[in-house]
């Protein structure tokens, strides 16, 4: 149950942050010639609705997550409601409780920002820069609910920072794929010049942004792998390591698709003949759906990994390495 809740919560938070990333880093500027009234209204409605849905699911699963942690601490059955005393203990005396309270406050604050901004048409950014910062903090704060908190004290700041950047990279790339899919879908079903320009601009900017996001994910993934898995032997010798390897394989597959999109489809959409552009648009739309599906599987794997003791922690690899460095 915990793995499912973690997976859904991480996915919802990634989408919420990705909507803001798309708004400010991918979508064309709000005063550009791409923004007809219809485009502004439809895209604004999509971004606002996606942010609300993501935040609502994140809030619900965050509450369930707390209940599951409290139930586990009390030793009761998983279906039983946690005792209020145990809940107070979790919130007041555990690192998870502190993180839960802070992130809950961020969820409420982001909801207030969204409610004040609305999700209708706007001459500016409908989601607001303040909301983008809150959404980023909400996503990065997940690092304080994972294994990084249990890392050796001397390495903990590095692990927390790496984990936070890893989450932000996922939000920028995987989370922004959802609104990108909306733009591509609208361009296919409403083949107007305005939507065509928005699709070309968005895919070009997303492709550039993806390079930065992928580089961040690769570097931080290597750091996290060293701290959590510990050795190549642990990759094949432990179930945790095997899941990490499966996650890496899925990520590599997404990289191949993204590289094909960037090198073949995006240039064709910009400069190809009309028929070639239509074919590229359809292929890109299909590939984005595939990327989102693979990303959802990765998030599910992350949810399972979060409930398991890491290979390095089990075998004391990190502790041994620290003693070796100290000596």
The predicted pLDDT at position 319 comes to 41
As a whole number of angstroms, the distance between CA 72 and CA 69 comes to 5
pLDDT category, 324, cuts 50, 70, 90?
very low
* Mean pLDDT value across residues 3-29: 91
Quick one: CA dihedral 45, 49, 52, 54, positive or negative?
negative
Could you tell me the pTM of the whole model? 0.87
Q: Who has greater pLDDT, 91 or 107?
A: 107
The predicted pLDDT at position 32 comes to 55
The predicted pLDDT at position 159 comes to 92
Express each pLDDT in 234-256 by its tens digit: 777 788 888 989 999 999 999 99
Query: Is residue 122 scored above 80 in pLDDT?
Result: no
* Mean pLDDT value across residues 141-160: 89
Backbone φ, ψ for residue 264 (5° rounding) = -110, -50
Supply the DSSP symbol for 270: H
Supply the DSSP symbol for 221: H
The predicted pLDDT at position 101 comes to 94
Least confidently predicted of 102-106, 203-207, 232-236, 261-265: 232-236
As a whole number of angstroms, the distance between CA 104 and CA 106 comes to 5
The predicted pLDDT at position 326 comes to 32
Express each pLDDT in 169-197 by its tens digit: 988 889 999 999 999 999 998 878 888 88
The predicted pLDDT at position 87 comes to 85
Q: Who has greater pLDDT, 217 or 150?
A: 217
As a whole number of angstroms, the distance between CA 235 and CA 39 comes to 48
As a whole number of angstroms, the distance between CA 284 and CA 257 comes to 9
Write down the mean pLDDT value for the chain. Answer: 84
The predicted pLDDT at position 287 comes to 95
pLDDT category, 323, cuts 50, 70, 90?
very low
The whole-angstrom distance between residue 240's C-alpha and the CA centroid of its chain comes to 21
As a whole number of angstroms, the distance between CA 173 and CA 167 comes to 10
Query: Is residue 124 scored above 50 in pLDDT?
Result: no
The predicted pLDDT at position 235 comes to 75
As a whole number of angstroms, the distance between CA 57 and CA 55 comes to 6
Query: Is residue 151 scored above 70 in pLDDT?
Result: yes
């Amino acid at each position: 149950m915990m793995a499912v809740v973690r997976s859904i919560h991480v996915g919802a938070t990634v989408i919420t942050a990705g909507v803001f990333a798309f708004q400010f880093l991918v979508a064309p500027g709000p005063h550009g010639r791409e923004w007809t009234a219809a485009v502004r209204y439809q895209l604004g409605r999509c971004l606002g609705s996606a942010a609300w849905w993501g935040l609502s699911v994140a809030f619900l699963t965050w509450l369930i997550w707390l209940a599951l942690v409290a139930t586990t601490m009390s030793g009761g059955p998983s279906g039983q409601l946690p005792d209020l005393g145990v809940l107070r203990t979790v919130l007041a005396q555990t690192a998870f409780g502190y993180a839960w309270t802070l992130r809950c406050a961020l969820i409420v604050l982001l909801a207030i920002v969204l409610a004040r901004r609305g999700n209708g048409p706007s001459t500016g950014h409908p989601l607001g820069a303040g909301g983008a910062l809150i959404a980023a903090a909400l996503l990065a704060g997940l690092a304080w609910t994972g294994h990084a908190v249990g890392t050796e004290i001397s390495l903990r700041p590095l692990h927390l920072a790496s984990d936070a950047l890893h989450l932000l990279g996922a939000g920028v790339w995987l989370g922004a794929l959802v609104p990108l899919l909306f733009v591509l879908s609208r361009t296919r079903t409403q083949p107007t010049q305005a939507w065509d320009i928005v699709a070309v601009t968005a895919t070009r900017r997303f492709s550039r942004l993806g390079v930065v996001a992928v580089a961040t994910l690769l570097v931080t993934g290597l750091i996290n792998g060293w701290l959590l898995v510990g050795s190549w032997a642990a990759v094949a010798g432990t179930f945790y390591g095997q899941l990490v390897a499966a996650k890496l394989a899925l990520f590599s597959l997404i990289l191949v698709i993204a590289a094909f999109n960037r090198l073949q489809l995006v240039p064709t959409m910009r400069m190809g003949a009309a028929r070639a552009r239509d074919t590229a648009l359809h292929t890109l739309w299909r590939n984005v759906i595939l990327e989102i599906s693979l990303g959802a599987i990765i998030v599910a794997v992350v949810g399972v990994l979060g409930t398991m003791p890491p290979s390095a922690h089990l075998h004391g690899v990190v502790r041994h390495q620290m003693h070796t460095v100290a000596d």
